[in-house]
Amino acid sequence: MNKFQNQIGFTIIELIVTIIVFGFVAAGLAEIFVSVTNVQRNANYLQIATTAAQSEVESLRNNNYDQIPNGNINFTNHLPTNLPKPCSGTVVVSQPITDLKRVDVTVTYNQDGHNNSVVLSSLIGIIGISQ
C-alpha cells in the first residue's frame, strides 16, 4: 500500500494555477483603479478650468458696460495655481450690435501632453445681462 494515498491537500499545480488566477484578478483591479483615478483627475481639472472661465465672465459682467474694451483680454495670471501648466486664459470681446457685447472666454491647459480647452460665451447688455 502506498503511504501517500490517504493524504489530503492541494497539489503544487493547483496552487500555481490559483496564484496565477488571483494575479490576473489583482492586475485587472489595479488597472480599473488607475483608470478611475485618471478620470477623477481629468474631471477635477475640467471643473477648475470651467470655474475660472465662469469667474472671468462674472468679473466682466460686474464691470461698467462702457469699461469693457473690445478686443482681446489676457487673464492668465488670474488662473488657479492648481491648473496644469502651461495654461492660459483669454477673452475676446466683440460688439455684434449696439448696446450688446459678446464675450468669448477660453481657458486652455496642458494635461498629459494634450491641450484641453474650456470655452464659454456670454452676452452683456448695456442695461441688463442676457446669456
| pLDDT reading at 131 higher than 50 | no
If you write DSSP's letter for every residue of 5-67 in order, what string do you get? TT--S--HHHHHHHHHHHHHHHHHHHHHHHHHHHHHHHHHHHHHHHHHHHHHHHHHHHS-GGG
Chain segment 45-55, per-residue pLDDT in tens: 999 999 999 99
* Category of 117 on φ-ψ map: left (φ > 0), alpha (ψ -120 to 50) or beta: beta
CB neighbours of 55 closer than 8 A, spacing ≥ 6?
78
Chain segment 15-37, per-residue pLDDT in tens: 999 999 999 999 999 999 999 99
What percent of the chain is modeled with pLDDT above 90? 66
| pLDDT reading at 5 higher than 70 | no
Q: What's the pTM value of the predicted model, to 2 decimals?
A: 0.75
- List the chain domain ranges: 12-130
